[in-house]
Amino acid sequence: MIGYYLRRFSRFMTEHIDAPLLGAVLLLMAVGLTVLYSASNAGWARVSGQMLNMLVALVVMWVVANVPPHFLMRLALPLFVIGVILLLGVAVKGDIVNGARRWLNIGVTRIQPSELMKIAAPLMLAWYFHRYEGTLRGGNFAFAAILLLVPVGLIARQPDLGTAILILASGGYVLFLAGLSWKVIAGLLVTGAASAPVAWSLLHDYQRQRILTFINPSEDPLGSGYHTIQSTIAVGSGGFTGKGWMGGTQTHLDFIPERTTDFIFAVFSEEFGLLGNCILLGLFLLVILRGMVIASNAPTLFTRLLAGAVTLTFFTYAFVNMGMVSGILPVVGVPLPMISYGGTSLVSLCLGLGILMSIQTHRKLVHT
């Protein structure tokens, strides 16, 4: 009798879990805790806090994995509308923290609506294209682009350029996967390049400084260029095999800024070297490849677009963070997935991975 109930409980807990995806995620989390322990100078407070964040994120992933995709489809429009309303609320009455208006006080707590839009925007666009699947025209893509630019513009205005870029990318992936013409993409790139002077004039002073620092960080080595210079020194000094766990001099002599969050990849590179970086890239690649397999096997346009956008957004997180730390991209506030300390981004990423698991394990139950 006990064995019967144990089997039922085990099936209940694992029925909608994708084992290859979960395995890769758990390995990344283990790597994250290992490097976080070193980055925080053997401080258990941060490690224990991150373990709690991971537990919450895994619970969220499990809950979302058990939600059928057709129910997610029903949530697309109301989630997007609520997200836009909350972003408008931030623009009007949001709390200003560190010079940015990103938080909205709802009485019992403060929320950051831009995090909701990381999922709501691609969910909405995937639902929209699924609804008009048989009659897609250029006007549909234009309207979808307008839908995407509304939250992106509101978030960029806060200002939160990093989150705006991530949401623009996630929505852009949906447009691309839905069949946006290469000619249109080329035209948009040319238009974007031509409008660069106008975009430059709209940037805040600190955003312009970040771009100038990216071009030549040595112009202000003790100021705005400090982050980039120190992180690239750490990455390069790791060599092929690294200096060993807990052995990074740039890390433990406090040269690397934000070493437990946005610049944790510099700590990892210094201590584990090129070899460790290749292993880490391999783990990220496992997640991305599994996500693309799930997307290719998805039974409906909605699930294909959503799975593809979630997977490519995960790739964008990793690429932007590693590029920023390595000095090939400007500094923006984008964490390294599953590795950087922090709860909000971890939960939103695991929510997306839960959607992938839901699409994979509910394939025969999806309603068209």
- Residue 305 makes CB contacts below 8 A (sequence gap 6+) with 122, 125, 126, 129, 130, 174, 177, 178
Q: pLDDT, tens digit, for every residue of 73-84?
A: 999 999 999 999
Q: How confident is the model at residue 242 (pLDDT cuts 50, 70, 90)?
A: confident
Q: How confident is the model at residue 366 (pLDDT cuts 50, 70, 90)?
A: very low
Residue 92 to residue 85: CA distance in whole angstroms: 11
Q: How confident is the model at residue 65 (pLDDT cuts 50, 70, 90)?
A: very high
Tokens describing residue 6: 């144990």
Residue type, 42: A
Q: pLDDT, tens digit, for every residue of 162-204?
A: 888 889 999 999 999 988 888 888 887 888 778 777 777 767 6
Of 300, 298, 295, 305, nearest to 141 by C-alpha is 305
